Amino acid sequence: MAGTIETYGRKIEDLARAQGLDFYPVQFEEVPDSFMMEVAVYGLPVRMPHWSFGVRYIYQLIQHRMGHSRLFEVVFPGNPGRAYLAKGNSVQENTLVVAHVLGHADFSKHNELFRRSQQEVGYRIVDQAAGHARQIAAAMEEHGQERVEQILDAALALEAHIDAFKGLRRERYPEFVEEQLIDDDTFRQRFHRLPGDERPAPQHEPKKRASLPLQPERDLLWFIAQYAPDLEGWERDIFLAVREESFYFYPVFACQIMNEGWASYWHARLLREADFIPQNEYLDAIKTHSDVVRPHAADRQASLSINPYHLGFCMWESIIDNLGMEKAMQIRAQDDDFGFIRNYLTAELAEELKLFRYKASNDGAVEVVDREINALRDAILAPKYSFGAPAIAVRHVEADGTLHLVHEHGTDGRGLDFKRSEKVLDYLHRVWRRPVKLDTVDARGEGRTLRTPAE
């Protein structure tokens, strides 16, 4: 007789702890497929309302109906963690999912990026996001759907534009700057104290108003929330709510390969060692495993994308085989995907996994370029920097209040899509309430400034 998910779940958990995994408690909940699908769309079980989620929802619904995607689990880090299992799954599938979730739970408790994010954002993101949703629903009640939507149009469009390294809670810039004294640094001070080199006491210059921002500012959500000239309190709160969720999403995004790989490694290992699961059920579960971590659809010769579960899984296996479990635990605590891929995706492993770099022309032609390891790492990581969004910073707020943005096209290698960018500037303009302009380059690399309102 097949065991229940409860009995298997507890045993898997004991096994995981015995193997050295360490995690906060996880609350599991079985939910219908429709719920799983919504979580995939919103990224969180209850999230603020916005029409753009409706569009994604319909695509997801269509894909789901056509059988393109199947969602086994979603897990939210925290203390306690939350995990949702699809009700339609078999016991074997869910046993595997529980093992997988515990891998994630261990990862998110120990990984530095996750730890910092949870310290800042909090350990109950599911409840916090639901709180934001309520807050926004209340704002709609009070200020009308249109006005709230206007704020969300802008804030959600800038979702990716945070500066994860400057942190969630930041002070406003100082209003005045001291005149920069050259002999600020200790070496110069000591030099000047040498005998015979008396120098006049530094004169205190009048304070100078700081330019805004002091340096180019990448955290657009923060900057607008802090410095938009006419933003009301409740509007600022919405901006900050969106920003907080972005800070929550950042480690999930920046550690995807590591995290999914780690969870896949552990579900495979825990199942292998779970002698309480009958042989036939084990085979069913392991079949699910190979479906999840297969490199690409079986009927295809090659895939133009890399399955992060498969890549991560193979990398962790190789790390644990070659460097040992202790080192692996250390890597999962300290790295993100950038360090992980650069340091541990070796040429041999890449060859074994048959990774390649390709070139896709806009006429539809796709050609395999090479298997050179450094180029390959770059190609894997390129779409991962700051949520894969273009590098845009606030350059300056002009005397008339104009918000001057700049696209660092050198970093991105090419200019922006004008049509979409202008639309985003429109969203911003309705929130900034002064002119907004953005420097970028056109197809030939010539400078181009987009403005709203157009001149």
Partner 1 sequence: MEHPSTFAGCREADQDWYDLFSRGARDWLRHNEKVRRAVRDKLPEVLANADVLGGDRSRTVKVPVRFLEHCRFRLRDADEMLGAGQGDVKPGDQLAAPGQQQGDDQGEGGNNEGGVQLLLELKIDDIVEWLWEELQLPNLQSKTGATQDDDYRREGWSRRGVRSRLDRRRSLKESLKRRAVDPDGPAFTDEDLRFRQLVMRRQPATQAVVFFAMDVSSSMRDRDRQLAKTFFFWVVEGLRRQYARLELVFIAHTVKAWEFDESEFFQVRGSGGTVASSAFSLVRDTIAGRYDPARYNIYLFYGSDGENFKDDHEAAEASLREIATLASFVGYVETPATEERALDSETGGIFRTVADEGRAVGSYALTTNESVWDAIRAFFREHVAAEAG
29 lies in the site for partner 1, by CB under 8 A: yes
280 lies in the site for partner 1, by CB under 8 A: no
* CB closer to partner 1 out of 59 and 176: 59
Q: State the number of CA atoms in the 13 A half-sphere of 113 facing the CB.
A: 23
Nearest one of 209, 243, 208 to 223, comparing CA atoms = 243
Minimum gap (Å) between residue 301 Cβ and partner 1: 6
* CB closer to partner 1 out of 269 and 407: 407
Whole-number Å distance between alpha carbons of 246 and 101:
22
Whole-number Å distance between alpha carbons of 156 and 428:
11
Q: Are 193 and 234 in contact (CB under 8 A)?
A: no
Minimum gap (Å) between residue 33 Cβ and partner 1: 12
Q: CA dist 304 to 38, 69, 307, Å?
A: 27, 17, 10
Q: Are 81 and 123 in contact (CB under 8 A)?
A: no
Burial class (CB in 10 A: 0-12, 13-18, 19+), 85: buried
200 lies in the site for partner 1, by CB under 8 A: no
45 lies in the site for partner 1, by CB under 8 A: yes
- Given candidates 6, 179, 232, 351, which one binds partner 1 under the rule CB under 8 A? 6
Q: Within 338-357, which residues bind partner 1 (CB under 8 A)?
A: 353-357
Minimum gap (Å) between residue 57 Cβ and partner 1: 3
Minimum gap (Å) between residue 118 Cβ and partner 1: 17
298 lies in the site for partner 1, by CB under 8 A: no
Q: Within 102-121, which residues bind partner 1 (CB under 8 A)?
A: 102
Minimum gap (Å) between residue 87 Cβ and partner 1: 7
315 alpha carbon, distance to own chain's centre: 21
The residues, any chain, with a CB within 8 Å of residue 156's CB and separated by 6 or more, are 50, 52, 242
Edge-to-edge strands, sheet with 403-407: 392-397, 403-407, 436-441, 447-452
365 lies in the site for partner 1, by CB under 8 A: yes
Whole-number Å distance between alpha carbons of 44 and 47:
6
5 lies in the site for partner 1, by CB under 8 A: yes
* CB closer to partner 1 out of 178 and 378: 378
364 lies in the site for partner 1, by CB under 8 A: yes
Which of these segments, 35-43, 110-118, 206-214, 240-248, binds partner 1 (CB under 8 A)? 35-43
Whole-number Å distance between alpha carbons of 327 and 334:
11
- Given candidates 15, 136, 156, 242, which one binds partner 1 under the rule CB under 8 A? 156
Total site size for partner 1, rule CB under 8 A: 106
370 lies in the site for partner 1, by CB under 8 A: yes
Minimum gap (Å) between residue 309 Cβ and partner 1: 12
- Given candidates 57, 123, 173, 385, which one binds partner 1 under the rule CB under 8 A? 57
- Given candidates 31, 71, 320, 333, which one binds partner 1 under the rule CB under 8 A? 31
- Given candidates 181, 210, 325, 366, which one binds partner 1 under the rule CB under 8 A? 366
Cα torsion 162, 163, 166, 167: sign: positive
* CB closer to partner 1 out of 126 and 328: 126
Q: Within 381-420, which residues bind partner 1 (CB under 8 A)?
A: 382, 389-390, 392, 407, 412-418, 420
Whole-number Å distance between alpha carbons of 318 and 324:
9
Backbone torsions φ then ψ of 27, nearest 5 degrees? -95, 120
Which of these segments, 207-215, 231-239, 322-330, 364-372, binds partner 1 (CB under 8 A)? 364-372
Residues facing residue 81 across a β-bridge: 26
- Given candidates 19, 71, 87, 317, which one binds partner 1 under the rule CB under 8 A? 87
- Given candidates 129, 139, 157, 231, which one binds partner 1 under the rule CB under 8 A? 157
Backbone torsions φ then ψ of 26, nearest 5 degrees? -120, 130
The residues, any chain, with a CB within 8 Å of residue 35's CB and separated by 6 or more, are 45, 84
Which of these segments, 26-34, 209-217, 238-246, 322-330, binds partner 1 (CB under 8 A)? 26-34
Q: Within 415-444, which residues bind partner 1 (CB under 8 A)?
A: 415-418, 420-421, 423-424, 427, 443
For residue 78, the one-letter residue type is G
Q: Within 122-151, which residues bind partner 1 (CB under 8 A)?
A: 145
* CB closer to partner 1 out of 80 and 120: 80
Q: Are 74 and 44 in contact (CB under 8 A)?
A: no
38 lies in the site for partner 1, by CB under 8 A: yes
The residues, any chain, with a CB within 8 Å of residue 319's CB and separated by 6 or more, are 327, 328, 331, 344
CB atoms within 10 A of CB 141: 10
52 lies in the site for partner 1, by CB under 8 A: yes
Q: State the number of CA atoms in the 13 A half-sphere of 79 facing the CB.
A: 14
Output DSSP code: residue 409. Answer: H
Nearest one of 14, 61, 66, 18 to 36, comparing CA atoms = 61
23 lies in the site for partner 1, by CB under 8 A: yes
- Given candidates 2, 19, 33, 61, which one binds partner 1 under the rule CB under 8 A? 61
